[in-house]
Amino acid sequence: MTGVLALCWIATLVRWTLTRRQAATPWRLLLSATLTFVAIAFTFTWLDARYPATTPPRIFTLLFHLCITAAALTFQLYVAMAFSWLTRARAAALAGLWALQCALLWVTWPRWTVDPGVRIDSQFLPGALTHHLIFWGYFAVSMAVGGVLAAYAAFRSRRDDALASVSLSVLTLGCGLIVAGLAARVAAARTGELDPSAVHVIALARTLDDFGVVLLATGTVSLHLLPLVRRRHMERTELRDLRPLWQHVRAAVPTVALPLSGERDQTLKLHRARIEILDGMHALSVPAGTAADPRAIAAALRQPDGGCRDDEFVPAAQLLPRGEDRAGELAVLRDMARAFSQGRP
């Protein structure tokens, strides 16, 4: 329990950090809010286990219920908003359902008697069935709907974005486990204390919940973290390849160099490296007989007279092969930069 709680809070902090660094779209805010509500809800459960109330009402349990219903609402909105059929009126209806849920939770709140020193699970209390059906049932339906939509999105994105598809699949599996746990809780509440096997069902439900929440948190974080890590890695690698040629160009053609002292944004640096090298190729000259090949041009640029203007010299840009598209252009640039750094003493 403590481990799951710690993981939930770590995942929540990572998610908010990612949300803050990237543009905070409503979807990102909603998903972060979902995870936050789950983490708070688990904190209340943890507190309830550590400091059980001796007299009703069990305030931590009540707060747990409220946070979980809020998590269900934000998760529903997050997944549903990605589909065009969710209008403002329908979003308002979902919010209304959440308010109704809170009201019903209060009305059906079981009049629990707490025997000091004895932990009585509310699942077995008489009169708790309606309450649990409303609470767990609503939550189960929310998670099931969210899980189905996430699975659909994972299926649609399996070719375009494999990483996102994997993350959404993990998210879906987490939803599935949570729904299974919730169904087990409802089943246990239905049979009540008359059936001794209900104790095992409750234990199973808790295990499913824990695994489900771990997968939900993992999928939620990895959905944004994995593409970011992959992009950062690719940018770092490309910047490392371009840096020697970039520095050479900045030194040889100061007019193309935009002052970047103290700049730490790697994406901006990479963009400047590409553009300044491309600009520099129009100012740097190579012998007219140089082959139109990135390696040959790189070798010519390394020569001491590279960069001089003369009748027998032409701008390097004239010889640089034109890529078929943007990616092709940048690939040529990278090939030339690699060849330039490989040939350096």
Partner 1 sequence: MQLRRVGPKVGSRVPALFRPHASALRQAPHEPTAEIRDRSAALAQAHALLNEALPPSGDIDDLLSRVELARGRRIRVMAIDLSRSGVSGLWAATTDADFIVVEQTAGLARREAIVCHELAHVLLDDEADVADADVLVWAEDVARQTLGTRLAARVLGRHGYEHESERQAEILGSHIALRLAEARRAPRDSVLRHLR
Residue type, 270: L
307, 281 Cβ separation under 8 angstroms: no
Q: Pick the stretch among 51-59, 133-141, 244-252, 323-331 that binds partner 1 (CB under 8 A).
A: 323-331
Distance, CA of 290 to CA of 303 (rounded, Å): 12
Distance, CA of 134 to CA of 100 (rounded, Å): 10
Distance, CA of 135 to CA of 131 (rounded, Å): 6
21 binds partner 1 (CB under 8 A): yes
**Site residues (CB under 8 A) for partner 1, limited to 162-201:** 164, 168
**Site residues (CB under 8 A) for partner 1, limited to 129-158:** 150, 152-153, 156-157
DSSP 29-62: HHHHHHHHHHHHHHHHHHHHHHS--SSS--HHHH
Q: Pick the stretch among 19-27, 102-110, 199-207, 293-301 that binds partner 1 (CB under 8 A).
A: 19-27
Please, what's the b/e burial string for 185-216 (b: 16 or more CB within 10 A of its CB; e: otherwise)?
A: bbbbbeeeeeeeebeebbeebeebbbbbbbbb
223 binds partner 1 (CB under 8 A): yes
Distance, CA of 126 to CA of 138 (rounded, Å): 20
224 binds partner 1 (CB under 8 A): yes
Closest approach of Cβ 183 to partner 1, in Å?
A: 26
Closest approach of Cβ 317 to partner 1, in Å?
A: 7
Measured at the CA of 249, the angle between CA 246 and CA 254, to 5 degrees, comes to 120
- Binder of partner 1 out of 185, 274, 334, 338 (CB under 8 A): 274
Nearer to partner 1, 62 or 330 (CB): 330
- Binder of partner 1 out of 3, 23, 118, 126 (CB under 8 A): 23
For helices 326-342 and 198-252, give the axis angle rounded to 10 degrees.
70
Half-sphere exposure of 345 (CA within 13 A, CB side): 3
Nearer to partner 1, 19 or 191 (CB): 19
**Site residues (CB under 8 A) for partner 1, limited to 60-99:** 78-79, 81-84
Question: Hey, which residues does 313 pair with through a beta bridge?
Answer: 287
Closest approach of Cβ 82 to partner 1, in Å?
A: 4
209, 23 Cβ separation under 8 angstroms: no
329 binds partner 1 (CB under 8 A): yes
310 binds partner 1 (CB under 8 A): no
257 binds partner 1 (CB under 8 A): yes
Q: Which residues bind partner 1 (CB under 8 A)?
A: 19-25, 27, 29, 78-79, 81-84, 150, 152-153, 156-157, 160-161, 164, 168, 223-224, 227, 231, 255-260, 263-265, 267-268, 271-272, 274-275, 278-279, 282, 315, 317-318, 322-323, 325-326, 329-330
